[in-house]
Amino acid sequence: MKTLDRIDRALAKVEGWLIIGLLWAMVVLTFVQVVFRSLYTHGHFFWANEMLGNLDWSGPLVQLLVLWLTFLGSSRLTREGKHIKIDLFSTLLPPKWLPVSGFILAVVSVFIIGIMIKVCIDYVIMEMEFGGTSLFYLPSWMGQMILPLGFTLLFFRFLIKAIHEGTQVVRGFLK
């Protein structure tokens, strides 16, 4: 339990750093692109177009970052239990049933996300066989690795939640 919590905290920290780094990269790269493009189209500076040519990798990279930030943010959101949900009954449920419903929902999430990991790994393997190259001449499956990785993060987060709620349920029964 304690080790799990420690991993959970360390992971949240790493995710936080990654978010900060990647978001900075996204902001700077998109901003620089816009500036060069407008210098070229509105100011007719040819050197700006050349710079833009040197930056042609940044478009696809930044779009890939959208997916990275999505999964990192989403994983942290899971940790805080703040995902968007339709909450009709949690106020009606008697408080002592909350851990039970929380446990069931976490187990369902673990199950569904588990399937997603498997499906995404298959997807990446498929791309390894048939896919071409993309960013920086790297094989395109490397970009897609974020899908299985991201779902693994979410899987881990929901698993911890399931364990926490589960122990609470058991404790409730023992009392």
Q: Which is nearer to another protein, 90 or 133 (CB)?
A: 90
The least distance separating another protein from the CB of residue 35, rounded to whole angstroms, comes to: 9
The least distance separating another protein from the CB of residue 172, rounded to whole angstroms, comes to: 18
Largest CA distance in the chain: 77
Q: Which is nearer to another protein, 2 or 55 (CB)?
A: 55
What beta strand segments (E) does 48-134 contain?
none
> Which residues of this chain interact with another protein, rule CB under 8 A?
16, 19-20, 23-24, 26-27, 30-31, 33-34, 37-38, 42, 59, 62-64, 66-67, 69-78, 80, 82-90, 93, 101, 104-105, 108-109, 112-113, 115-116, 119-120, 122-123, 126, 143-144, 146-147
Contact in structure between 103 and 169 (CB atoms under 8 Å): yes
The residue behind tokens 């998109």 is 30
The least distance separating another protein from the CB of residue 174, rounded to whole angstroms, comes to: 24
The least distance separating another protein from the CB of residue 50, rounded to whole angstroms, comes to: 19
Q: Which is nearer to another protein, 126 or 128 (CB)?
A: 126
Q: What is the DSSP letter of 87?
A: -
The least distance separating another protein from the CB of residue 136, rounded to whole angstroms, comes to: 15
Q: Is the dihedral of CA 27, 29, 30, 32 positive or negative?
A: positive
Q: Which is nearer to another protein, 7 or 66 (CB)?
A: 66
- CA–CA dist 42, 9 (Å, integer): 49
Q: Which is nearer to another protein, 115 or 170 (CB)?
A: 115
Kindly list the distances between the CA atom of residue 86 and the CA atoms of 79, 90, 146, 170, in Å, as whole numbers in the listed order. Answer: 18, 10, 28, 27
> Please, is 75 exposed, middle or buried when counting C-beta atoms within 10 Å of its C-beta (0-12, 13-18, 19+)?
buried
